[in-house]
A and B are shown apart, each in its own frame.
Chain A
Amino acid sequence: MAASLVLPKLVGQRIKRREDPRLIQGRATYVDDIKVVGMQHLAFVRSDIAHGRILSIDTSAADAMDGVEAVFTGAQIAELLAPMPILTPFPSPDHRAVAVDIVRYVGEPVAVVVTADRYVARDAADAIVVDYEQLPAVVDPEQAMTGTPVVIHADFADNLALPFLPGGTGVAADFTVDDTVVDQAFADAEVVVSQRMVNQRLAPTPIETRGVLAHFEPGKGTMTIWSSTQNPHTLRTFIATMTGLGQDQVRAIAPEVGGAFGAKINIYPEEYVAAALSKRLGLPIKWIEDRSEAFVATTHGRDIIGYVDIAARRDGTVVGLKLRLIADIGAYNMLLTAAIPTLTMQMASATYDIPAIRATLTEVFTNKTPTAAYRGAGRPEATYFVERAMDMLARELEMDPADLRRKNFITPDQFPYTTQMGAVYDSGDYGKALDLALQNAGWADLKKQRDAARAKGRLVGLGLSMYVEVCGVGPSSSFPSGGWEYAQVTIERDGRISATTGASPHGQGNETTFAQMLADQFGVPLEHITIHHGDTGVVKQGIGTFGSRSQAVGGTALHLAGGKVKVKMAKFAAALIEAHEDDLVFEDGMISVKGSPESGKSFADVAKYAYVPVPLPKGLDPGLSEEAFFEPANNTYPFGCHISMLEIDRETGEPTLLRLVAVDDAGHLINPLIVDGQIHGGLAQGIGQAMIEEFRYSEDGQPVTGSFMDYAIPRAADFPRFELDNTVTPTPVNPLGAKGVGEAGTLGSTPCVVAAAVDALSEFGVKHIDMMLRPEKLWRIIHGGQP
Chain B
Amino acid sequence: MAQVSVTVNGKTHTANVEPRLLLVHFLREQLNLTGTHIGCDTSQCGACTVLVDGRSAKSCTIFAVQADGSEITTIEGLARDGRLHPLQEGFWEEHGLQCGYCTPGMIMSAVDLLNEHPSPTEREIRDGIDGNFCRCTGYEHIVNAIQYAANKR
What residue in chain A is nearest B102 (Cβ atoms)?
A: A207
Are B92 and A17 neighbours in the complex by a CB distance under 8 Å?
Answer: yes
* Set of chain B residues within 8 Å of A32, measured between Cβ atoms: 28, 34, 38
Q: When chains A and B are docked, how far (Å) is the Cα of A25 from the Cα of B143?
A: 19
Partner of A207, one of B78, B99, B123: B99
Interface residues on A, range: 35 or more
Q: When chains A and B are docked, how far (Å) is the Cα of A206 from the Cα of B88?
A: 22
Q: When chains A and B are docked, how far (Å) is the Cα of A19 from the Cα of B132?
A: 21
In the complex, chain B residues 107-153 whose Cβ is within 8 Å of any chain A Cβ: 107, 123, 125-127, 129-130, 132-143
What residue in chain B is nearest A21 (Cβ atoms)?
A: B92
- A716-B143 contact in complex given A16-B92, A26-B35, C-beta closer than 8 Å: yes
Q: Is A72 an interface residue (CB 8 A)?
A: no
Q: Is A332 an interface residue (CB 8 A)?
A: no
Are B20 and A508 neighbours in the complex by a CB distance under 8 Å?
Answer: no
Partner of A27, one of B35, B139, B142: B35
* Interface-facing stretch out of A138-146, A257-265, A300-308, A316-324: A257-265
Are B40 and A23 neighbours in the complex by a CB distance under 8 Å?
Answer: no
- A208-B107 contact in complex given A715-B130, A715-B133, A716-B142, C-beta closer than 8 Å: no
In the complex, chain A residues 24-48 whose Cβ is within 8 Å of any chain B Cβ: 24-30, 32-33
Q: Is B75 an interface residue (CB 8 A)?
A: yes
* Interface-facing stretch out of A395-403, A446-454, A678-686: A678-686
Q: Is A205 an interface residue (CB 8 A)?
A: yes
Q: Is A676 an interface residue (CB 8 A)?
A: yes
* Set of chain B residues within 8 Å of A3, measured between Cβ atoms: none
Q: What is the minimal beta-carbon distance from A120 to any residue of chain B, in angstroms?
A: 10
* Set of chain A residues within 8 Å of B138, measured between Cβ atoms: 680-684, 714, 719, 722, 745
* Set of chain A residues within 8 Å of B36, measured between Cβ atoms: 26
Are B98 and A677 neighbours in the complex by a CB distance under 8 Å?
Answer: yes
Q: When chains A and B are docked, how far (Å) is the Cα of A259 from the Cα of B76?
A: 21
Are B101 and A208 neighbours in the complex by a CB distance under 8 Å?
Answer: yes
Are B103 and A24 neighbours in the complex by a CB distance under 8 Å?
Answer: yes
Q: What is the minimal beta-carbon distance from B19 to any residue of chain A, in angstroms?
A: 11
Q: When chains A and B are docked, how far (Å) is the Cα of A714 from the Cα of B84?
A: 29
Are B99 and A507 neighbours in the complex by a CB distance under 8 Å?
Answer: yes
Q: When chains A and B are docked, how far (Å) is the Cα of A259 from the Cα of B91?
A: 17
Q: When chains A and B are docked, how far (Å) is the Cα of A709 from the Cα of B88?
A: 29
Are A27 and B76 neighbours in the complex by a CB distance under 8 Å?
Answer: yes
Q: When chains A and B are docked, how far (Å) is the Cα of A29 from the Cα of B78?
A: 18
Q: When chains A and B are docked, how far (Å) is the Cα of A721 from the Cα of B42?
A: 29
- A207-B135 contact in complex given A26-B104, A33-B34, A716-B130, C-beta closer than 8 Å: yes
Q: What is the minimal beta-carbon distance from B82 to any residue of chain A, in angstroms?
A: 11
- A30-B101 contact in complex given A258-B37, A291-B42, A716-B142, C-beta closer than 8 Å: yes
Q: Is A708 an interface residue (CB 8 A)?
A: yes
Are A719 and B100 neighbours in the complex by a CB distance under 8 Å?
Answer: no
Are B95 and A207 neighbours in the complex by a CB distance under 8 Å?
Answer: no
Q: Is B45 an interface residue (CB 8 A)?
A: yes
Are A681 and B45 neighbours in the complex by a CB distance under 8 Å?
Answer: no
Are B135 and A261 neighbours in the complex by a CB distance under 8 Å?
Answer: yes
Partner of A677, one of B37, B44, B95, B135: B95
Are A709 and B107 neighbours in the complex by a CB distance under 8 Å?
Answer: no
Q: Is B79 an interface residue (CB 8 A)?
A: yes
Q: What is the minimal beta-carbon distance from B25 to any residue of chain A, in angstroms?
A: 8
Q: Mark A234-262, 1 if CB is under 8 A from B, else 0.
A: 00000000000000000000001111110
Q: When chains A and B are docked, how far (Å) is the Cα of A715 from the Cα of B129?
A: 8
Q: What is the minimal beta-carbon distance from B110 to any residue of chain A, in angstroms?
A: 11
Q: What is the minimal beta-carbon distance from B18 to any residue of chain A, in angstroms?
A: 7
Q: Mark B1-37, 1 if CB is under 8 A from A, else 0.
A: 0000000000000000010110001001100011111
Are A206 and B101 neighbours in the complex by a CB distance under 8 Å?
Answer: yes
Q: Mark A629-668, 1 if CB is under 8 A from B, else 0.
A: 0000000000000000000000000000000000000000
Are B95 and A676 neighbours in the complex by a CB distance under 8 Å?
Answer: yes
Are A20 and B91 neighbours in the complex by a CB distance under 8 Å?
Answer: yes
Q: Is B74 an interface residue (CB 8 A)?
A: yes
- A507-B76 contact in complex given A207-B39, A707-B40, C-beta closer than 8 Å: no
What residue in chain A is nearest B125 (Cβ atoms)?
A: A716
Q: Is A673 an interface residue (CB 8 A)?
A: yes
* Set of chain B residues within 8 Å of A29, measured between Cβ atoms: 34
What residue in chain B is nearest A208 (Cβ atoms)?
A: B101
Q: Is B93 an interface residue (CB 8 A)?
A: yes
Q: Is B72 an interface residue (CB 8 A)?
A: no
* Set of chain B residues within 8 Å of A405, measured between Cβ atoms: none
- A680-B137 contact in complex given A24-B97, A206-B99, A507-B99, C-beta closer than 8 Å: yes
Are A684 and B41 neighbours in the complex by a CB distance under 8 Å?
Answer: no
* Set of chain B residues within 8 Å of A256, measured between Cβ atoms: 99-101
What residue in chain B is nearest A708 (Cβ atoms)?
A: B44
* Set of chain B residues within 8 Å of A178, measured between Cβ atoms: none
Q: Is B65 an interface residue (CB 8 A)?
A: no
* Set of chain B residues within 8 Å of A506, measured between Cβ atoms: 99
Q: When chains A and B are docked, how far (Å) is the Cα of A509 from the Cα of B100?
A: 11
Q: Is A347 an interface residue (CB 8 A)?
A: no
Q: Is A267 an interface residue (CB 8 A)?
A: no
Q: Is B51 an interface residue (CB 8 A)?
A: no
Q: Is B64 an interface residue (CB 8 A)?
A: no
Among B39, B102, B123, max chain A CB count under 10 A is at B39
What residue in chain B is nearest A710 (Cβ atoms)?
A: B42
Q: What is the minimal beta-carbon distance from B4 to any residue of chain A, in angstroms?
A: 16
Are B100 and A507 neighbours in the complex by a CB distance under 8 Å?
Answer: yes
Q: What is the minimal beta-carbon distance from A243 to any residue of chain B, in angstroms?
A: 28
Q: Is B47 an interface residue (CB 8 A)?
A: yes
Are B99 and A709 neighbours in the complex by a CB distance under 8 Å?
Answer: no
Q: Is A713 an interface residue (CB 8 A)?
A: yes
Q: What is the minimal beta-carbon distance from A281 to any residue of chain B, in angstroms?
A: 22
* Set of chain B residues within 8 Å of A508, measured between Cβ atoms: 98
Q: When chains A and B are docked, how far (Å) is the Cα of A684 from the Cα of B133?
A: 12
Q: When chains A and B are docked, how far (Å) is the Cα of A680 from the Cα of B138?
A: 5
* Set of chain B residues within 8 Å of A291, measured between Cβ atoms: 39-42, 45
- A707-B42 contact in complex given A23-B97, A681-B138, A716-B129, C-beta closer than 8 Å: yes
Q: What is the minimal beta-carbon distance from B57 to any residue of chain A, in angstroms?
A: 16
* Set of chain A residues within 8 Å of B137, measured between Cβ atoms: 677, 680-681, 684
* Set of chain A residues within 8 Å of B143, measured between Cβ atoms: 716
Are B139 and A20 neighbours in the complex by a CB distance under 8 Å?
Answer: no
Q: When chains A and B are docked, how far (Å) is the Cα of A691 from the Cα of B143?
A: 21
Q: Is A131 an interface residue (CB 8 A)?
A: no
What residue in chain A is nearest B122 (Cβ atoms)?
A: A721
Partner of B42, one of A25, A674, A681, A708: A708
Q: What is the minimal beta-carbon distance from A33 to any residue of chain B, in angstroms?
A: 4
Q: When chains A and B are docked, how far (Å) is the Cα of A20 from the Cα of B36?
A: 16
* Set of chain B residues within 8 Å of A17, measured between Cβ atoms: 92, 95
Q: When chains A and B are docked, how far (Å) is the Cα of A509 from the Cα of B76?
A: 22
Q: When chains A and B are docked, how far (Å) is the Cα of A716 from the Cα of B41?
A: 21
Are A292 and B41 neighbours in the complex by a CB distance under 8 Å?
Answer: yes
In the complex, chain A residues 503-540 whose Cβ is within 8 Å of any chain B Cβ: 506-509
Q: What is the minimal beta-carbon distance from A504 to any residue of chain B, in angstroms?
A: 12
Interface residues of B (CB under 8 A from A): 18, 20-21, 25, 28-29, 33-42, 44-45, 47, 74-76, 78-79, 84, 88, 91-93, 95, 97-104, 107, 123, 125-127, 129-130, 132-143
Report 6 cross-chain contacts, Cβ distance below 8 Å, ordered by A residue. Answer: A207-B133, A258-B101, A674-B95, A685-B135, A707-B40, A715-B129
Besides A24-B84, A680-B140, A681-B135, 20 new A-B residue pairs in contact (Cβ under 8 A), listed by A number: A19-B100, A23-B103, A24-B88, A24-B91, A26-B74, A27-B35, A28-B100, A32-B34, A258-B37, A258-B102, A259-B98, A261-B135, A508-B98, A676-B141, A681-B138, A708-B42, A713-B135, A716-B129, A716-B130, A719-B126
